[in-house]
Amino acid sequence: MTRVGIVGYGNLGKGVEAAVKNNEDMELVAVFTRRSPESVTVKTEGVKVYNLKDAVNYKDDIDVMIICGGSATDLPTLTPEIAANFNCIDSFDTHANIPVHFAKVDEVAKAAGKTALISAGWDPGMFSLNRLYANAILNNGKDYTFWGKGVSQGHSDAIRRIDGVVDARQYTCPVEAAVEKVRNGENPELTTREKHTRLCYVVAAEGADKARIEKEIKEMPNYFSDYDTTVNFISQEELDRDHKGLPHGGSVIRTGVTGFDNENKHVIEYSLKLDSNPEFTGAVLVAYARAIARLNKEGVTGCKTVFDIAPAYLINMSAEDMRAHLL
């Protein structure tokens, strides 16, 4: 059994909890929180909730910590702290800061004899892996990534910060015509606007100026101004009824050529259609947690990414069974 601890009990932490329950070789030992432990009730029977500052007391009871915090403010300090005492894994997704985060976690983990893995999930994570495999095979080619249709938590939050907005849900949608061009091997050059649209469902406060809210959304730099954005005002009841889920997904496509005269075209596509972004991400984290626990037992230490992990480490199956049934 791999004994797991979860740090942080939001949507992702709950997704990890469900994934641990669904893997018979994994056992959830404890959840660690910055909130008052008595205020947190976990779904799995018998699992204790502790204050995060006491985590070190449980270092001998846990094989790997799955850190379910935010990339903006939590993980940059939290993952190195945890890596000083535990094998651990996070889903750090601020692409530009990955090199710095990696270096910090690597230093701490190596010094402690622990194994860490950063940036697991689906993007970064499974999408990154598929970019790497496709680049290794079709080295003469072009990458495309499309996201959605799915809920962007960051964009939903940005809308909620606008004056007069009570609640909001933002869907990122791939432009199907662009996806089709890529799939057909047409190798298009696509602007930001040509790849994705943004679809918003907004609950406005009573008497709020909807025209002004819509204008503020559509003109918001970075988040919306580079996209064709549709804003729909709906009631809180409608939002709760029709937009409660956190679906997501997308496609990584690489097109490239082979042959002595680059005469043959190829298309590699990896795509995901997910009812629950946090539960799928949680399932990926649990598979990599298994790998990290195994690698630490083999004496491998320091920080890793999905690129460094041989696929066999991820699955609860013997090498013989893998070769007989999956190869």
Binding interface with a second copy (CB under 8 A): 15, 18-19, 21-23, 43, 95, 98-99, 102, 119, 124, 126, 128-133, 135-140, 183, 185, 258-260, 264-276, 279-280, 282-284, 287, 290, 305-312, 314-317, 319-320, 322-324, 326-327
**String of DSSP letters for 235-301:** -HHHHHHHS-SB-EEEEEEEEEEESTTS-EEEEEEEEEEESBHHHHHHHHHHHHHHHHHHHHHTT--
CB-based burial, 116-153: b 16+ in 10 Å, e otherwise: bbbbbbbbbbbbbbbbeebeeebeebebbbbbbbbbbb
Q: Give the residue with the Cβ less far from a second copy, 79 or 305.
A: 305
Q: Give the residue with the Cβ less far from a second copy, 86 or 122.
A: 122
Residue 86 in contact with residue 66, Cβ under 8 Å? Answer: no
Q: How far from each other are the two terminal CA atoms of the chain, in whole angstroms?
A: 26
Q: Could you write out the three-class secondary structure of 99-123?
A: HHHHHHHHHHHHHHCCEEECCCCEC
Q: Give the residue with the Cβ less far from a second copy, 98 or 112.
A: 98
Residues in the chain: 327
Q: Give the residue with the Cβ less far from a second copy, 115 or 229.
A: 115
Q: Give the residue with the Cβ less far from a second copy, 57 or 184.
A: 184
Strand pairing partners for 50?
32
The distance of closest approach from Cβ of residue 116 to a second copy in the complex, given in angstroms and rounded to an integer, is 14
DSSP H/E element including 321: helix 319-325
The distance of closest approach from Cβ of residue 220 to a second copy in the complex, given in angstroms and rounded to an integer, is 28
Q: What amino acid occupies position 267? A: V
The distance of closest approach from Cβ of residue 275 to a second copy in the complex, given in angstroms and rounded to an integer, is 4
Residue 233 in contact with residue 200, Cβ under 8 Å? Answer: no
Alpha-carbon span 299 to 290, nearest angstrom: 15
Q: Give the residue with the Cβ less far from a second copy, 24 or 189.
A: 24
Q: Give the residue with the Cβ less far from a second copy, 230 or 276.
A: 276
